[in-house]
Structure 1
């Protein structure tokens, strides 16, 4: 945990933090295409796991060195349908993320933090994703997208860049991500790393870091519903 000092900014990952879980979207996509589960699990482990090679296709995609079409071709060769065939490459990435929806409880939390005078930022590893306009409506500054930077979490350089853009020392910044390796990377860089599981526990963790009691604010009276609003 970072050293003492008032936290002045909170940086959020996007997919799986400000949205419904990425894994849920992946599962609906995989089921819909009839992808054999083990082939997808093995591919993610090889390309994104802790032992993944630094030049794996996902790492190259996230840093902008591999385009969406090239990644989809590599992915299609690794995946098998239950009938033994490979899926068509075109549209794989779009389909993988098609099930994401805003997590309204988390967006409410960003409103609460802004009302407390806390600055907000985004640090996202992009899979050639399209981000909503509201991400750039002035609520978050800076917005750091890995593919545009050539840097990806958990590279310490991306957390250093975040702090530089905020003009704050690391101990004044909290970072929220649903991927534990990215949280651990933030902690190694001196930030207050918070592992996101749901809006309720993330809010409690943030208010603890901010030195605010969990009884303050409208969201404290009940656990937010994990279901998204229509």
Structure 2
């Protein structure tokens, strides 16, 4: 089957992101809290994972931080700024240059588990809307990986069958779920290896 589209995750793939555990440790230190106490409060901000499907807004999350941690408005602003800096990480320039090179021979897309504010932050920093043909953010569509419905939505947006697209992600269970849906997958670990694996899949159907 000929591949017609290549789809990429953002965090941990197009963006190099510090592991969440390291970031949480840094934030706990800023507040002078023991890590166990800090983690307990952080879990109270969005215990049901509502941000990922758009059921909790960025403003709601910020207010929850104020309520749970008992901090000021300015402290909440500083936390949110630090959170977005961590969330967006640093651009993988090598991989993004490769993504850009795929068009027009292939459609390209982003499929990302996200939160309200992600499009603003990532577009402002990295211009992903100009890099790919379409962006599917989980918080905008009300579905998140590994829900198979978000893979079907991606296929529908690109007008391809599952076997006609390649999906690149860095999370084990997401890669497994996409593969179970019938999508050829690449488990991202190192950029050169990912590019080589994509190229192998692209040429396999020639």
Q: TM (normalized to structure 1)?
A: 0.70
- Is there any run of 5+ residues in structure 2 with no aligned partner, and where? none
Residue 211 of structure 1: SS of its match in structure 2? helix
C-alpha distance in 1, partners of 2:167/2:98? Answer: 14
Deviations 1:22-75 (A, max 9, x none): 42783585366255444566778x79xxxxxxx944x21011111123324545
Q: What's the RMSD between the two structures over aligned residues?
A: 3.1
Q: Confirm or deny: 8 A CA contact 1:61 1:147 kept in the other structure.
A: yes
Residue 160 of structure 1: SS of its match in structure 2? helix
C-alpha distance in 1, partners of 2:193/2:37? Answer: 33
Q: Which residue of 1 aligns with 2:58?
A: 68
Q: Which residue of 2 aligns with 1:162?
A: 154
Q: Which residue of 2 aligns with 1:126?
A: 114
- Residues 197, 28 of structure 1: CA spacing in aligned structure 2 closer, same or farther, 3 A cutoff? farther
Per the TM alignment, residue 184 of structure 1 is displaced from its structure 2 partner at its CA by 1.8
Counterpart among 10, 13, 20 of residue 9 in structure 2: 13
C-alpha distance in 1, partners of 2:110/2:132? Answer: 6
Residue 203 of structure 1: SS of its match in structure 2? helix
Counterpart among 182, 191, 206 of residue 198 in structure 2: 206
Q: Confirm or deny: 8 A CA contact 2:169 2:187 kept in the other structure.
A: yes
Q: Confirm or deny: 8 A CA contact 1:69 1:90 kept in the other structure.
A: no
C-alpha distance in 1, partners of 2:9/2:25? Answer: 22
Residue 90 of structure 2: SS of its match in structure 1? coil
- For residues 17-96 of structure 1, what are the structure 2 equivalents within 5 Å? 17-23=13-19, 26=23, 29-30=26-27, 33-34=30-31, 36-38=34-36, 56-57=47-48, 59-74=49-64, 88-96=75-83
Bigger proportion of residues as helix:
2
Residue 131 of structure 1: SS of its match in structure 2? helix
Deviations 1:123-168 (A, max 9, x none): 111122222152112x312211111111111111111000011110
1:105 lines up with 2:98 in the alignment? no
- Is there any run of 5+ residues in structure 1 with no aligned partner, and where? 48-54, 80-84, 213-230
Per the TM alignment, residue 78 of structure 1 is displaced from its structure 2 partner at its CA by 7.2
Q: Confirm or deny: 8 A CA contact 2:28 2:38 kept in the other structure.
A: no
C-alpha distance in 2, partners of 1:122/1:74? Answer: 29
1:135 lines up with 2:128 in the alignment? yes
Deviations 1:97-118 (A, max 9, x none): 3141211111122133236x12
